[in-house]
């Protein structure tokens, strides 16, 4: 019996449920008294509602109620009651609070009816009149009003170090450029939905699309003044999150509002178009100034970032921390300002701040490499950071050099002709580009519970989520490995607010945080098993400590004396029929504070650009990742592949286009908002380099959800430059920009 | 979606009769109509399902051409041996559009009648003359990357979204229709309209008329053809510019030439008088360039779509070169 699971490419535990349709998502739960909601959204971006005529809609048989700001029940008024674990500083949006319109497509009414179709039809009959005010949604026009927020949601920009002004003035080679990244929307496959089952006792069971059930639970408890134990939030499957489910969205609030008022079960699912009515990756403009010596040593770097936020919350991301993480530069100045617009508050989207910040940094660095006439990879290696300059701390581990070595070898980088526009096949200009990336490998406090039955079946649980990343599978692998069990004897439960406390599923910290808690709780089960084993007659463990033991193949033994092993079944028999049950919570070790933990990536890209038509094809991507210990190479690879595909979208396709005359994102469906399709995706190779890290967390593993995306778009942009000799500094790079 | 009544027509006569009530519309594949109904852009009060009537086959015509029944699906058309062999341009154009799933549902008649994908046409909160005559055009001064540069008007700059129609225009197909007044045929070039001041009308079709078939003439340009579609991703995107190019060559001399553009106007764009000037000339890039220039003369950009004027010219030249150099596999 092989019970070594960590590092093996186990299939997804939830794979069968998903492909057979058995896996239930938030909008797929049913109750006999279920009714359906449909949201009416504002036609204008700013102003106030002067009237809502519900008469025609209400007359339709089967329409139960239409909630508006005029007839809603009383609300709690403190901002803190609407804040959640991912709230930026400010005053969170409250649906149907008053007649003020603060962003386009703001929810202004909720129709509840006996069918979804009827609710949607009634929504069409709701007549709203407005008094419009001019909205400001033009980012460029409002750059002059950019401000430093009193509090950053992200870490505040690192303080300057060295003497950037002087170093810049004296640098022999200088570069000044600005890079623009558009607003983007997450567009997970599953639209946001909540099904609220109204219990006979008035208690609620809420199936929500969310990346953290306890976040929704606390939010509802605060916003509606319900005791925590009276709201049970469940989210066993999430059809893609990417950050869109970090904050409870308005469908949750409105569905619960309706269920409580009508004392009935309510389902509310947003349409694809409505998925463009809330959080998004903010539009960001970054101005860079770089100074270097003739031989390519960075001497000074200045990065000034400007990013969009709403009028009611100061959303910010870690856009400007990347020079200090990725480059050895002694003179650096970083600023990060916000541009307030009449839009909904932006929202964390896969590698928030990293996707935008590393894109711009890695393009600026590439430009500097060309300016000093160096190979862009050599330039990066020459300025390789051996510490985190922002915090002046060593990295917990950093095998990025090895990632470069293996990635370049696999890609064939040494065959590259350095001159732009030098490689061609027929009409296709061929370009090779490189970029590097990093993402923080954070560990958060998390708890887990383990129950081991007398039959040797283990169930481990924590209130985390599996947003498609493989949580169900890797947690089971960690638990099975720790206790030496076959994988099929281990079940992991998640997505239920009654389970042990877990942080939000985001920030690439789930394996690190929940995985470490799973390991810790299974180690406590080991302790209990040891105690039981010591009760055995002639126990070989009488003087053993847990650290002396090995759990493997369904047996335990003193590591030094494998011959005297005992089966777990024998040990469990000592428990006399009762299961072992342990719950444990784990905090990051203090020692971590002396280090800076990051995962790293080196990405190599080949593009083909049609010399006349400007069409771009990403023909090859090699992404080499230093991500610590890889728990499951299969799900890990999928994460990096997904990041690479999204990187293609970031570089070439995704764009939430704002029409600032109406204050609305006009590309609000999947016909007009492009994400990569199969035909866009050609060859992608993933390499994981060996990286040992005893600091980052007890598993030595780093999260992989975000490191896969950050360096892809800049590598593509750099490859497009190499192919064409044309530097496009505004994403997405569409064919018109290359004509 | 607003409530509507539904009936199934047994034959063309019944279909014509049933569609003649106020607010009635035909439904075949429904791939465009249902989307538009869900978002309240189209509000038919009655749907006449025509999927049970005849016109579901592809047949030879007496003139050596092919008659595509209006209810044949796009997929069945594209993969029909006669179409693949004799009209490969049409096959390629169809397969450049939509997805396999959509092509399996969408019918040939419906393809002709699909609506524009203009951002504002799809958003009932913004003015649009095509959706609501007289309300104004949001696109002219708004976001217009996908929109028209040729044949536009003060009231509309929408494009016709079809790929299939671009090939049909190049092949000079004929549309067969039946209405209360009887049967008639419409040359493809006259089927779709320019927006003028009536952008709500896409086609020269009476409200009671039904498309029964699309007739392909005998000449299919099966030796030298190309459908070049330029878009913002490799599949499942509407054309920024597309070109259906067809050549008949005698050595390097042009005997006949057809060029139709998609993604640039309210209808597939043809300029037969410019094509005619090329007959007898050498099929060279310079010749193609001349034609490209002629096609785009008078084109007007609206900001975001300015690039289409240059792109379309380059695309015409490229497509003609591809058509010329095509190695036909026997």
Contacts of A652 in chain B (CB under 8 A): 232-233
Q: What's the sign of the alpha-carbon dihedral A64, A66, A71, A77?
A: positive
Q: Do B307 and A739 touch (CB under 8 A)?
A: yes
Task: Name the residue with tokens 């008949």.
Answer: B248
Phi, psi of B101 (to 5 degrees): -60, -45
For residue A77, the model assigns a pLDDT of 84
Q: Do B119 and A667 touch (CB under 8 A)?
A: yes
Cis peptide before A424 (omega within 30 of 0): no
- What confidence category does residue B187 fall into, taking pLDDT thresholds of 50, 70 and 90? very high
CA distance A380 to chain B (A): 31
Strands A683-688 and A664-665: unpaired
Q: Do A659 and B237 touch (CB under 8 A)?
A: no
In percent, the amount of chain A with pLDDT more than 90 equals 99
Smallest CA–CA distance from B123 into chain A, residue: A666
List all residues 6 or more positions away from A644 whose beta carbon is below 8 Å from its beta carbon: A603, A621, A623, A684, A686, A708, A709, A712
The predicted-structure confidence for A498-527, as pLDDT tens digits, reads as follows: 999 999 999 999 999 999 999 999 999 999
CATH number of the domain bearing residue B277: 3.30.390.50
- What confidence category does residue A2 fall into, taking pLDDT thresholds of 50, 70 and 90? confident
Phi, psi of A8 (to 5 degrees): -105, 145
Q: Are A27-134+188-271 and A284-442+593-738 the same fold in CATH? A: no
Q: Number of A:B CB contacts under 8 A?
A: 88
User: Does B12 map to a domain?
Assistant: yes
Nearest by Cα to A526 from A560, A552, A500, A501:
A552
The number of CA neighbours under 13 Å toward the Cβ of A475 is: 32
pLDDT surpassing 60 at residue A670: yes
List all residues 6 or more positions away from A406 whose beta carbon is below 8 Å from its beta carbon: A624, A687, A689
The number of CA neighbours under 13 Å toward the Cβ of B105 is: 12
State the DSSP code for A511. I
Helices A250-262, A213-224: inter-axial angle, 10-degree rounding: 50
CATH number of the domain bearing residue B45: 3.30.43.10
User: Does B274 map to a domain?
Assistant: yes
For residue A157, the model assigns a pLDDT of 98
CB atoms within 10 A of CB A679: 12
The predicted-structure confidence for A401-444, as pLDDT tens digits, reads as follows: 999 999 999 999 999 999 999 999 999 999 999 999 999 999 99
A664 neighbors A601 (Cβ within 8 angstroms): no
Q: Do B142 and A613 touch (CB under 8 A)?
A: no
Interface of B with A in 300-319 (CB under 8 A): 307, 310-311, 314-315, 317-318
Q: Do B236 and A667 touch (CB under 8 A)?
A: no
CA distance A111 to chain B (A): 14
Distance of CA A373 to the CA centre of its chain: 37
Smallest CA–CA distance from A667 into chain B, residue: B119
State the total domains in chain B: 2
| CATH code of domain A284-442+593-738 | 3.30.365.10
**Domain residues for B268?**
224-325
Alpha helical stretches, state H, A126-243:
139-142, 164-170, 213-224
CA distance A612 to chain B (A): 7
pLDDT surpassing 60 at residue B328: no
Strands A298-309 and A284-292: antiparallel
- What confidence category does residue B327 fall into, taking pLDDT thresholds of 50, 70 and 90? low
Overall average pLDDT of the A628-655 stretch: 98
CB atoms within 10 A of CB B52: 13
Q: Do A666 and B123 touch (CB under 8 A)?
A: yes
User: Does B19 map to a domain?
Assistant: yes
DSSP-derived 3-state class of residue A98: coil
Q: Distance (Å, rounded) from C-alpha A668 to C-alpha A657? A: 9
Which pair of tokens denotes residue A573?
């028999």
* Helix or strand holding residue B198 (H, E): none
- What confidence category does residue A1 fall into, taking pLDDT thresholds of 50, 70 and 90? confident
State the DSSP code for A157. P
Smallest CA–CA distance from A57 into chain B, residue: B2
Phi, psi of B303 (to 5 degrees): 110, -90
Predicted ipTM > 0.90:
yes
DSSP-derived 3-state class of residue A485: coil
pLDDT surpassing 50 at residue A310: yes
pLDDT surpassing 50 at residue A677: yes
| CATH code of domain A444-587 | 3.30.365.10
* Helix or strand holding residue A106 (H, E): none
The predicted-structure confidence for B49-97, as pLDDT tens digits, reads as follows: 999 998 899 999 999 999 999 999 999 999 999 999 999 999 999 999 9
Q: Distance (Å, rounded) from C-alpha A606 to C-alpha A434? A: 9
Q: Do A677 and B233 touch (CB under 8 A)?
A: yes
Smallest CA–CA distance from A655 into chain B, residue: B232
For residue B330, the model assigns a pLDDT of 41
Nearest by Cα to A154 from A322, A383, A330, A270:
A322
> Which residue in the set B1, B2, B119 is minimally distant from A672, CB to CB?
B119
The predicted-structure confidence for A364-382, as pLDDT tens digits, reads as follows: 999 999 999 999 999 999 9
B195 neighbors B265 (Cβ within 8 angstroms): no
Contacts of B315 in chain A (CB under 8 A): 613
Q: How is chain A split into domains, by residue range?
A: 27-134+188-271, 284-442+593-738, 444-587
> Which residue in the set A43, A121, A615 is minimally distant from B1, CB to CB?
A121
For residue A281, the model assigns a pLDDT of 98
Contacts of B122 in chain A (CB under 8 A): 669, 672
User: Does B203 map to a domain?
Assistant: no
Strands (E), A341-482: 387-388, 393-394, 423-425, 428-440, 446-452, 458-461
A630 neighbors A636 (Cβ within 8 angstroms): yes
- In the predicted model, what is the mean pLDDT of chain A? 97
Contacts of B138 in chain A (CB under 8 A): 659, 661-662
Nearest by Cα to A172 from A296, A290, A292, A289:
A292
| CATH code of domain A27-134+188-271 | 3.90.1170.50
A252 neighbors A216 (Cβ within 8 angstroms): yes
Q: Do B235 and A678 touch (CB under 8 A)?
A: yes
**Chain A touched by B84 (CB under 8 Å):** no
Bridge partners for A626 per DSSP: A600
Q: Distance (Å, rounded) from C-alpha B128 to C-alpha B299? A: 22
Helices (H) and strands (E) in chain B, counts: 12, 12
Angle at A238 between CA A236 and CA A243, to 5 degrees: 130
User: Does B286 map to a domain?
Assistant: yes
**Chain A touched by B201 (CB under 8 Å):** no
What CA dihedral angle connects A197, A202, A205 and A206, to 10 degrees?
70
For chain B, how far is it from start to end, CA to CA, in angstroms?
51
Best mutation target, A44, A117, A119, A671, to test chain B (most B CBs within 10 A):
A671
CA distance B299 to chain A (A): 17
A168 neighbors A304 (Cβ within 8 angstroms): no
Q: How would you label A56-73 residue by residue, b for 16+ Cβ within 10 Å and e otherwise?
A: ebeebeebbbbbbbeebe
Q: Do A657 and B143 touch (CB under 8 A)?
A: yes
The predicted-structure confidence for B104-144, as pLDDT tens digits, reads as follows: 999 999 999 999 999 999 999 999 999 999 999 999 999 99
Phi, psi of B261 (to 5 degrees): -110, 140
Q: Distance (Å, rounded) from C-alpha A728 to C-alpha A720? A: 8
CA distance B142 to chain A (A): 7
User: Does B124 map to a domain?
Assistant: no
């Amino acid at each position: 019996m092989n019970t070594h699971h960590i590092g093996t490419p186990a299939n997804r535990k939830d794979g069968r449920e998903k492909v057979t349709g058995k896996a239930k998502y938030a909008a797929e739960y049913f109750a006999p008294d279920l009714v359906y909601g449909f949201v009416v959204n504002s036609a204008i971006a700013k102003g106030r509602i002067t009237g809502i005529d519900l008469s025609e809609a209400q007359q339709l048989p089967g329409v139960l109620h239409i909630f508006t700001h005029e007839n809603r029940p009383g609300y709690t008024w403190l901002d803190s009651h609407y804040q959640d674990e991912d709230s930026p500083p400010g005053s969170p949006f409250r649906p149907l609070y008053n007649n003020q319109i603060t962003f386009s497509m703001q929810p202004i009414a909720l129709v509840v009816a006996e069918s979804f179709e009827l609710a949607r039809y009634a929504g069409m009959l709701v007549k709203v009149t407005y008094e419009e005010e001019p909205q400001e949604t033009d980012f460029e026009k409002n750059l002059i009003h950019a401000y430093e927020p009193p509090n950053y949601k992200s870490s505040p920009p690192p303080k300057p170090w060295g003497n950037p002004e002087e170093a810049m003035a004296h640098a022999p080679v200088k570069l000044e450029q600005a890079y623009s990244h558009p607003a983007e929307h997450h567009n997970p496959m599953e639209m946001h939905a909540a099904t609220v089952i109204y219990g006979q006792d008035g208690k609620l069971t809420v199936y929500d699309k969310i990346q953290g059930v306890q976040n929704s639970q606390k939010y509802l408890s605060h916003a509606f003044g319900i005791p925590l134990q009276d709201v049970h939030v469940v989210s066993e499957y999430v059809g893609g999150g990417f950050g869109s489910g970090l904050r409870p969205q308005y469908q949750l609030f409105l569905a619960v509002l309706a269920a409580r008022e009508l004392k009935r079960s309510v389902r509310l699912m947003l349409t694809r178009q409505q998925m463009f009515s809330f959080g998004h990756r903010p539009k960001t403009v970054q101005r860079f100034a770089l100074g270097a010596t003739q031989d390519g040593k960075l001497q000074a770097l200045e990065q000034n970032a400007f990013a969009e936020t709403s009028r009611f919350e100061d959303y910010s991301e870690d856009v400007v921390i990347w020079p200090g993480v990725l480059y050895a530069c002694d003179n650096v100045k970083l600023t990060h300002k916000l541009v307030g617009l009449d839009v909904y508050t932006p929202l964390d989207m896969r590698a928030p701040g990293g996707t935008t910040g590393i894109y711009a940094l890695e393009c600026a660095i590439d430009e500097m490499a060309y300016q000093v006439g160096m190979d862009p990879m050599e330039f990066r290696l020459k300025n390789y950071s051996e510490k985190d300059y922002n915090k002046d701390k060593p990295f917990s581990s950093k095998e990025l050099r090895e990632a470069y070595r293996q990635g370049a070898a696999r890609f064939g980088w040494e065959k590259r002709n350095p001159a732009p526009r030098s490689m061609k096949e027929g009409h296709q200009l061929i370009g090779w580009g490189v970029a590097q990336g990093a993402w923080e490998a954070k560990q958060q406090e998390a708890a887990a519970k383990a129950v081991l039955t007398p039959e040797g079946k283990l169930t481990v649980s924590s209130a985390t989520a599996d947003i498609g990343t493989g949580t169900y599978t890797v947690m089971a692998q960690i638990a099975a490995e720790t206790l030496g069990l076959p994988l099929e004897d281990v079940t992991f439960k998640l997505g239920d607010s009654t389970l042990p406390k877990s942080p939000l599923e985001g920030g690439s910290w789930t394996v690190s945080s929940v995985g470490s808690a799973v390991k810790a709780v299974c180690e406590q089960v080991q302790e209990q098993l040891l105690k039981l084993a010591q009760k055995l007659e002639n126990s070989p463990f009488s003087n053993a400590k847990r650290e002396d033991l090995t759990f493997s193949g369904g047996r335990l033994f003193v590591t030094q004396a494998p011959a005297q092993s005992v089966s777990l079944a024998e040990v469990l028999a000592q428990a006399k029929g009762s299961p072992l049950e342990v719950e444990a919570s784990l905090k990051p070790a203090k020692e971590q504070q002396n280090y800076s933990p990051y995962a790293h990536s080196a990405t190599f890209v080949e593009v083909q650009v049609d010399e006349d038509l400007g069409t771009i094809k990403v023909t090859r991507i090699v992404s080499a990742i230093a991500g610590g210990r890889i728990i499951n190479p299969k799900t890990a690879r999928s994460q990096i592949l997904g990041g690479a595909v999204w990187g293609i979208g970031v570089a070439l396709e995704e764009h939430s286009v704002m029409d600032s005359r109406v204050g609305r994102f006009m590309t609000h469906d999947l016909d007009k908002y492009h994400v990569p399709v199969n035909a866009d995706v050609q060859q992608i190779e993933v390499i994981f380099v060996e990286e040992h890290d005893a600091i980052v967390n007890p598993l030595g593993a780093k999260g992989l959800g975000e490191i896969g995306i950050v360096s892809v778009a800049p590598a593509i942009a750099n490859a497009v430059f190499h192919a064409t000799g044309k530097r496009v500094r505004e994403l997405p790079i569409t064919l018109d920009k290359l004509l | 979606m607003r409530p509507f009544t539904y009936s199934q027509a047994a034959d063309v006569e019944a279909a014509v009769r049933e569609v003649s009530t106020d607010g009635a519309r035909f439904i075949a594949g429904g791939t465009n109509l249902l989307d538009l109904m869900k978002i309240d852009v189209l509000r038919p009060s009655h749907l006449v399902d025509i999927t049970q009537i005849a016109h579901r086959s592809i047949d030879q015509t007496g003139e050596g051409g092919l008659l595509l029944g209006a209810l044949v699906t796009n997929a069945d058309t594209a993969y029909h041996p006669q179409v693949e062999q004799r009209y490969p341009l049409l096959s390629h154009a169809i397969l450049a559009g939509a997805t396999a799933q959509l092509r399996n549902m969408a019918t040939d008649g419906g393809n002709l009648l699909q609506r524009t994908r203009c951002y504002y046409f799809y958003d009932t909160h913004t003015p649009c003359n095509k959706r609501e005559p007289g309300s104004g055009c949001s696109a002219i001064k708004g976001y217009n990357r996908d929109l028209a540069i040729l044949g536009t008007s003060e009231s509309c700059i929408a494009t016709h979204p079809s790929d299939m129609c671009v090939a049909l225009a190049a092949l000079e197909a004929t549309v067969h229709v039946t209405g209360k007044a009887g049967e008639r045929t419409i040359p493809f070039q006259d089927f779709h309209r320019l927006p003028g001041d009536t952008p709500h009308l896409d086609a020269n079709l009476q409200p009671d008329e039904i498309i029964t078939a699309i007739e392909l003439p005998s000449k299919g340009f099966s030796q030298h053809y190309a459908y070049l579609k330029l878009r913002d991703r490799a599949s499942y995107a509407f054309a920024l510019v597309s070109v259906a190019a067809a050549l008949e060559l005698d050595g390097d001399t042009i005997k006949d030439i057809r060029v139709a553009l998609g993604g640039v106007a309210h209808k597939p764009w043809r300029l037969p008088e410019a094509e005619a000037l090329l007959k007898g000339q050498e099929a060279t890039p310079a010749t193609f360039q001349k034609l490209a220039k002629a096609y785009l003369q008078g084109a007007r950009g609206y900001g975001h779509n300015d690039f289409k004027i240059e792109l379309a010219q380059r695309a015409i030249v490229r497509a003609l070169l591809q058509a010329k150099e095509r190695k036909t596999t026997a």
